[in-house]
Structure 1
Amino acid sequence: MTAIRRIWVTRAEPGATRTADRLTALGFEPVIAPLLATRSIPQAAPDLTGVAALAFTSANGVAAFASLTSDRTRPVFTVGDATAGAARTAGFARVQSASGDLDSLAALLSAQGPAVGPLLVPGALEPAGDLPALLRDRVEARALPLYEAVETGAAAPAAFDAVLVHSARAARALAALGPFAGQLAFALSAAAADPLGDRSGLEIRLALTPDENALLAALGNPLRRV
């Protein structure tokens, strides 16, 4: 694969800046043009009566929940290590990461048995996957929508060597801007890449595991400046 340097970061802020900083440290030139933005759903502090544990599928969910309540007493289960780090930074002391995708988180929770519930899942109004449905008949769980992802209407950068796709929602927005003749897209997972379809014109590469470390590793080494 030809070495690449300019990387289009499509994810919402503040994650886009975090990803850009990591790309810069690796020697790439990030181009931040988010296709999505998060918008809070106004509501009062959540009623945690009877809730035994919390499950987070994104750092955005952690931030949204932490802004509504100071309660940090319940154990937390997260989809991946970055989300686990966000939970610890927010003040949660008991945090377990599934270090994978939504199926990995469901498996981790199922292994705890019914006693881990009732489980509250704070997150997006339209999440990428339905964790309570995956846990049905194994762990009692309910979703708590705290924010929604909306398209920004941003245009594609004038020049980029590759584009990062962190979610299926971003992939749908990206596909609507195509086709991109023969350009590269690096996706966090097959589920994130699926909405791109064949008509996007993108040559799609997948991270070996559904986390950003693997996504950035898939980029290879940047083209050296001369």
Structure 2
Amino acid sequence: MVRVLVTRPEPGASRTMRRLEDQGFQPILLPLTETVALPVDVEGVANNAVAVAVTSANAVRHAPREIVAALAALPCHAVGKRTAEAARAAGFLSVSEGPGDAEALADALAGGFTAKTIIYLCGRVRFPAFEARLKAACVDVRAIETYDTVTLD
């Protein structure tokens, strides 16, 4: 049996482990990082915002309840199924499931939100493409970093 080292943090590590086992591999879990919540200032978070975008389920999981409560009535655009499920579980009332790719989600949102503000719940460590595509389409993206990915000792 082929062994596979899984270094991603939970909860994704366990999902990956189960998938690998189903395919006949012997996974070895050794997460090298973990996600931790960041302090978020709730005051004025929803000012002028017309929607919320989320490209990571961790961003929703680590979002303070006060942030979700302040944003829950806005349409929430999630990158894919797992992130949409996390947004619904957190309390967002209207969640749309995107194509599963951050850049494709940005392209889908760009035309409908020109000159408007979108709140982007995200991690401190992230790829810039989502924000860059929206900003190129004149969408005001207000990033709210709800978590960080840190190395384990």
CA positional deviation for 1:48: 1.4
Distance 1:90 1:28, change over 3 A: farther
**2:7: which partner in 1?**
10
**Match of 2:86, SS?**
helix
The code of the aligned residue for 1:15 comes to G
Which residue of structure 2 lines up, in the alignment, with residue 216 of structure 1? none
Moved over 6 A (4+): none
More strand by share: 2
Alpha-carbon separation, structure 1, partners of 2:67 and 2:149:
22
Tell me if the contact between 1:102 and 1:129 (Cα under 8 Å) persists in the aligned partners: no
* Matches of 1:142 and 1:130, distance apart in 2: 14
Instruction: Tell which structure's C-alpha radius of gyration is larger.
Output: 1
After superposition, the C-alpha distances for 1:57-85 in whole angstroms (9 at most, x for unaligned) are 11111112254434221111122222122
Which string of whole-angstrom CA distances, capped at 9 and with x for unpartnered residues, describes residues 22-67 of structure 1?
Answer: 4344544322111221122223435212221111111111112254
Share of identical aligned residues, percent?
34
Separation in 2 of the partners of 1:138 and 1:43? 25
TM-superposed CA distance for 1:121, in Å, is 0.6
The residue aligned with 2:119 is: 120
- Structure 2 vs 1, CA of residues 24 and 142 (structure 1 numbering), >3 Å: closer, same or farther? same
Report the TM-score when normalising by structure 1: 0.57
Alignment-derived partner of residue 132 in structure 1: 131
- After superposition, the CA RMSD in angstroms is 2.3
How far did 1:14 drift? Answer: 2.1
Answering whether residue 57 of structure 2 is matched by residue 59 of structure 1, we say: yes
Q: Which residue of the partner structure matches residue 73 of structure 1?
A: 73
TM-score, scaled relative to structure 2: 0.81
Once the 2 structures are TM-superposed, how far is the Cα of residue 21 of structure 1 from its aligned partner? Answer: 3.3
Structure 1, gaps ≥5 residues long: 154-226
- Residue in 2 that maps onto 1:39: 36
| Higher RCO, Cα 8 Å, sep 6+ | 2
